[in-house]
Amino acid sequence: MEAAAVVERAKAEKWSDEEVVARVLQGETALFEIIMRRYNQRLFRVALAILRDEAEAEDVTQDAYVRAYQHLNQFAGRSAFSTWLTRIAVHEALARAGRRRQLEGLEGMVMLKGENSRELTSRLASPEQQASIGEISKLLETAILSLPETYRTVLMLRDVEEMSTAETASALNLTEENVKVRLHRARVLLRRELYTRAGSARGEAFPFMGARCDRMVQRVFQRLEEDRLMSSEIPKIDS
């Protein structure tokens, strides 16, 4: 069966992560696309929560997939595959943030104020986001990214990505109690009225669908092929 047909079958039959991973390890590498399309948005969101930079968040997402593919046979099933994958993205993002701190100094990690804050908001408000989310969602994005990293990352995983307390704790190497405390403080820092008005728009924030999702899948496959980790047959991404 051709690679494209296998991918379509996996989508139609809604194979579990574990089924997909097992088939990838058996040589059906094109199925890794299923994993990327399932978790592109989650990995991008958690990387953005840590780095507050969309371009760097995309780079981290790509690096996380490559790292996961390289170590796929080390997934032991002690936690959900999604948690294992998210943890890789968290580690990649934290490592990049650490390198950035070394280059820019501690001042670069302090929340920008005044004119610099407006520049940050403008940079994040891309045309793609403006076309796909409403005004309330945009305000919520800005408010979340203004939180200290300690609270921002927990909030992103729990309330935006809707991971459970246990999954978040595992991904961030925290206790469940610490997750609960940080989540409570994060919600307090966000003004209650803004949070309430945003309502269901939380799930629409920080979108990573459509062309961006396709681009990430293609870039990861190209990286894997260049590193000779995969056969030269790269699935064609429909636009």
Q: Is residue 57 part of a domain?
A: yes
Q: Is residue 11 part of a domain?
A: yes
Res. 173: pLDDT tops 80: yes
Q: Is residue 123 part of a domain?
A: no
Q: Is residue 196 part of a domain?
A: no
pLDDT confidence bin for 153, thresholds 50/70/90: very high
Chain mean pLDDT for the chain: 80
71-85 pLDDT tens trace: 999 998 888 999 999
Distance CA 183, CA 156 (A): 9
- Give the chain's domain count: 1
Q: Is residue 4 part of a domain?
A: yes
Res. 109: pLDDT tops 50: no
CA nearest 10: which of 136, 193, 86, 18? 18
Q: Is residue 129 part of a domain?
A: no
Which CATH number does the domain housing residue 77 bear?
1.10.1740.10
Sequence-ordered alpha helix ranges (H) in the chain: 3-13, 17-25, 32-51, 54-70, 81-104, 114-124, 127-132, 135-145, 149-155, 165-172, 176-189, 192-198, 210-226
- Evaluate whether 82 touches 42 at the Cβ level (below 8 Å): yes
| 3-class secondary structure, 192 | helix
Domain boundaries, position 37:
1-109+209-239
Angle, helix 81-104 to helix 165-172, in steps of 10 degrees: 50
Distance CA 208, CA 37 (A): 10
Token code pair at residue 56: 């760097």
Q: Is residue 61 part of a domain?
A: yes
189-223 pLDDT tens trace: 876 546 555 565 666 777 787 888 888 988 898 88
- pTM over 0.85? The answer is no
**Average of per-residue pLDDT across 134-139:** 69
Distance CA 45, CA 141 (A): 11
Q: Is residue 43 part of a domain?
A: yes
Res. 234: pLDDT tops 90: no
